[in-house]
A and B are shown apart, each in its own frame.
Chain A
Amino acid sequence: MPLNAIDSLALSHFLLTGAVLFCLGLIGFISRRNLIIMFLCTEMMFQGVAVSLVAFSRFHLNDTGQTFVIFVLTIAAAEAALALGLVVLLFRRKKTLDALAWSDLKG
């Protein structure tokens, strides 16, 4: 039974997957300087969180978490369009995607 197959997986597997996704994104965000890669890393962190939410939702047999994830995904899509647009604009300005080029707020 496919259902059982899933049941045999414990909650911790899913949470671990989410945590791995989140940490990969975080490390990528901190260590890379390419604006697009950084953006993709934030998306990855998003997905890690979404996986955790869905896992909790299924575990508690409560649909609220999944509903919430759908909303988050919608917003993430919109935000992705916006953020990529910004990246394009920034690239036009300085002809580079290096985040260090934008350190004008240095104290």
Chain B
Amino acid sequence: MPIELIKLVPWIPLLGAALCGVCCMKPVWRKAAGPISVLSIFIPFLITCGVYSAAKHLNDTQQVQTVYSWIGVGEFQVNMAYFIDPLTMVMLFVVTGIGSLIATYAMGYMKGDRGYARFFMGVSLFIFAMTTLVMADNLVLLYLGWEGVGLCSYLLIGYYYDKPFAVAAAKKAFIVNRIGDLGFALGIFLTYMTYHTVSLSVVTDMARHAVEQGFDPTTADLWIPFLLMLGAFGKSAQIPLHVWLPDAMAGPTPVSALVHAATMVTAGVYMIARLMPVFQLSPYALPTVATVGGVTALFAGTIALCQYDLKKVFAYSTVSQLGYMFLGVGALSTFGGIFHLFTHAFFKALLFLTAGSVMHALAGQLDLRAMSGLRHKMPVTCWLMFAGCLALAGFPFTAGFFSKDTILAEAMVRGTGEHGSTLFFWLAIMGLATAFLTAFYTFRLWFRVFMGPEHFEMGDDDHGADDAHGDDHGHAHEPHEMPWWPMNAPLAVLAVGALFAGLIFSGWMTTNIEESTAQPAVALNIQTDPQTAPAYEIIAVSDQADTHAAAADSHADAGHGDDHEAHRAHGIHVLLKWVSSFIALLGIALAGYFHWLNRPLTDQIAKRFSGVVEVLYNKYYVDELYDLTIVKPLRRLGHGFYLFDQFVINGLVMTVGYLPRLVGWSVRPTQSGQIQGYGLGMVMGMALVALLVFKWAF
């Protein structure tokens, strides 16, 4: 296929969104919205597959595909242009591939819902924004996609707009994202002022050149990554802007899977990977990214331990896994970060959708305490979720195992050896602790839901009860298995991906990252300036970035990777594989003991440590803290402004308006309504005029 076809990728979903919008107009047309939306996402996927081989062999001019000139003001030129490199292709595979599977599932899940067409319009529009984001050649276009996904996220979280908590969650997501986006926008402005262009390809080339040739970081170099990072933290729900993601589960479950687990939230990771050389310019940027990622991973992992809401557990595990990805890119392992993004998209989409099936079957019931032993009622869902759980827990040879280990091993490589920094060592330890927690809470959930004595309480949600099941067999009866088409079939595909994507795509991913601009730049001549030494130290070992077993030969390309270092890194990778396999198995085994075989003991322990459980259940009171320190003072400030407006400004306006009324009130009695009165007035007036005339005229 000719490479030019890739220009169509974002526009087909946009067309699909428009058609879905048309479908909203008549109830009869609504049913067409689902298939339209699925097609509008699947066709771009086919195009992506078709042009993939062509996209691998592009020269510099072909890499930038311009559709039209978008903004031109003097020297400031922004084109609607797409940048095609292997990283873009990987992201397109994730977005359109996972997207079409989830949209297919949603056709069944949303069936009979009042806002069926509205939902699919949101989904198609989201794919438009997300593909624009990952294909953008310049930061302004990336920002368009960035804000576009934010908007779609808002629309889809607030899908059940008649439920106050959904509306509140949508607003929260939007506002928290705006805080991050403010930083992102400032970062773009500063980039333009520094580089006089917003083109990603040019900016990364310049930054890469600077890193390779040695440089003195300027103030702008130091600030740009921190500003951009803020946007990434907001979009990818990292501390301190993580609070919106768990609440975002108020949207329909396919939305949680697509937008808030598999694709949109990874935009931050993608952005940092894409601008890797720019982040390398600041000595403190990547360590900060890694620290925030590592801390978030552990923090969210502990919260997930004590949540009872099915979707909340997965939401916090998403935050935690995104933390891993940030740790990966922060440790200069773009490969690890993007690979984890890729595998995570499979298993997290699968987990959310199976959770959606459980929720669907139990009429909206999400409380772990209200369900148990559902394996006989929903055997297919049970084993599909099992596959997802294995991958999330990092069970050996599943998808999550490979990508997570790459990240941890890279962090460990960064943290040990001659140039090792203690920071990365501890981050790797935290990552391992998180891996244990992940295995434990994932299987806690699975054992609770599907194992043990059969017991369930139906929820009170009438979601889909009208004709989701084709007949009047409503939700008041028994939980039931989902139909194969369109619901379980896409899940089976995802399950295969969750189990085997790590094994199959590891090498493929390595070559793709190496050929993209996301490959970290390597300093060719290292100077030791005492002030900026830490930066160079990190850059110095960056040639180890892809020492994943499958990428062992990349060292030869790097030119100066010394054999000893390579050997050490390889050793760490192998060791970490054993350690994390053991940790995952231990976590799963303990979860099995505590949450399947011996539940009363677990309850006793939970009672003994009820203080800890309480804190974790309340998410470390972060929401309350923000409420106290930010929301309440802002509200008071707003109330102060309200009073000022009401009494000072409004008072002035009202006074001006009151004056004519006062005048009117004082002269009103002259209007008696009696003709005689008016006549008398006329006569008196005439008399007065006559008197004056005669007095002065003669």
Contact = CB atoms under 8 A, between A and B. Distances in A.
Nearest to A99: B675
Contact of A107 (B670, B676, B683): B670
A26 B682 CA distance: 11
B72 interface: no
A102 B676 CA distance: 12
Interface string B360-403: 00000000000000000000000000000000000000000000
A102 B673 CA distance: 7
Contacts of A103: 672-674
A58 interface: no
B2 interface: no
A38 B677 CA distance: 13
Interface of A: 26, 29-31, 33, 38, 99-100, 102-107
Given A30-B676, A106-B673, A107-B673, 16 more contacts: A29-B676, A30-B679, A30-B680, A30-B683, A31-B676, A33-B676, A38-B675, A99-B676, A100-B674, A102-B673, A103-B672, A103-B673, A104-B673, A105-B671, A107-B668, A107-B671
Contacts of A30: 676, 679-680, 683
B675 A107 contact: no
Interface string B648-687: 0000000000000000000011111111100110010000
A107 B669 contact: yes
Contacts of A105: 671, 673
A30 B675 CA distance: 8
Grouping DSSP codes into helix (H, G, I), strand (E, B) and loop, the B interface class, with mixed when no group exceeds half, is helix
B673 A26 contact: no
B364 to A, nearest CB: 64
A4 B598 CA distance: 144
Interface of B: 668-676, 679-680, 683
Contacts of B683: 26, 30
8 contacts: A29-B676, A29-B679, A30-B676, A30-B680, A30-B683, A103-B674, A105-B671, A107-B669
A36 B683 CA distance: 20
Nearest to A42: B679
B676 A106 contact: no
The 5 closest A-B pairs by CB, nearest first: A107-B671, A103-B673, A106-B673, A107-B668, A105-B673
A48 to B, nearest CB: 14
A105 B668 CA distance: 11
A106 to B, nearest CB: 3
Contacts of B669: 107
A106 B680 contact: no
Residue of B669, B670, B671, B674 most packed against chain A (CB within 10 A): B674
A38 B676 CA distance: 9
A103 B669 CA distance: 13
B378 to A, nearest CB: 79
Nearest to B668: A107
A71 B300 CA distance: 102
A105 to B, nearest CB: 5
A99 B675 CA distance: 7
A89 to B, nearest CB: 16
A106 B672 contact: yes
Contacts of B679: 26, 29-30
Contacts of B672: 103, 106-107
Nearest to B664: A107
Contacts of A99: 674-676
B327 to A, nearest CB: 80
Residue of B669, B672, B673 most packed against chain A (CB within 10 A): B673
A33 B674 CA distance: 9
Contacts of B674: 99-100, 103
A105 B670 CA distance: 11
A29 B668 CA distance: 24
B660 to A, nearest CB: 14
B430 to A, nearest CB: 82
A102 B672 CA distance: 11
A90 to B, nearest CB: 12
Contacts of B670: 107
Contacts of A107: 668-673
B666 to A, nearest CB: 11
Nearest to A26: B683
A33 B677 CA distance: 11
A85 to B, nearest CB: 18
Nearest to B671: A107
A104 B674 CA distance: 9
A63 B670 CA distance: 43
